[in-house]
Structure 1
Amino acid sequence: MGYSMKMSFALFFAFCMFLQGTLGEVICETLPTNLCSFAIASSGKRCVLENYKNDQGKLEYTCKTSEVVVERISGYIESDQCVNACGVDRSFVGISSDAFLAPQFTARLCSPACYQNCPNIVDLYFNLAAGEGVYLPALCEKQKANPRRAMLGLLSSGAAPGPVAVDSADFVADAPAPSFF
């Protein structure tokens, strides 16, 4: 058997193992770190990327199961297409609502390519926004109409400290979460 045939067989085998893991049971602790963020275990809990120092003091990463349960979806690994469309990064440790303070992030999250096609990521950030008192669909509408005003409204909602005073009634998370699934 030639080198190219062996390489083809090895790639096929690796792909089959990956596909089996994707379609079969997803266990956060067994995921490679480059697939951890935005994955959901078969148990329905979100996977999170964590860092730690190894015995030599070098920073390493591991995938862990969080206590956050996702309704109506389990055993899911987010696609690279959605990661790119939504402007998120699988290499970030932890996920924060601070991302909303970057107008580019909010624009990408609210873009049709993300908002209409990537319910897992949108659900995650919907919940983060709600935790800050912001209703994501209203923020996205403001983003489309006037990105600068959307940022001012977000800042005044309490999502981040700042001296800006704008009526934030449109941003308060008092409505139910959208049904994506």
Structure 2
Amino acid sequence: MSTDPNPAAGQSNPGQSHDVENLDSHECWRLLRSVTVGRMAVWVDDHPDIFPINYKVDHGTLVFRTAEGTKLQAATGDTPVAVEADGVDSDSGIAWSVVVKGQAAAVKNQEEVLDTVGLLLFPWQAGKKEHFVRITPDTITGRRFKIVPPLTWWTPLDDATRSGLE
């Protein structure tokens, strides 16, 4: 598994508020453990699709439950998947985003299924979600940054556009 190829990973310049801090893999995993919902991107037939998933981190992998259907078929096919999770600290205005890319596979081995049940992974949506899927990462990357105030993005063109609509 590789991490962000940026040699300055984990470094930022505190003198500039628009800098992005590239996170090392340990911090990425810590942040992934702090939330339980992400978005999984898959390839379905001839187009990309995105599904929300609630997951648990398990020994350097992500595990989620799902029902039979498009999400399960697309995730466990031959095409790799990507999962993105993010968060923000409203007090500090610091946001983060982590992306895991890798292969997903159905959990079928009886011992592994029993271990996975022990994760206490409860789907948010009602219904029969009897399939456990494990995503084994090839790469994990993450970034942390300060959210800028909306006025930072104001330009003189904003007023011109608005006056044209009045």
Q: TM-score scaled to structure 1, two decimals?
A: 0.25
Q: Which one scores higher on RCO, CA 8 angstroms, separation ≥ 6? A: 2
Flag the structure with higher helix content: 1
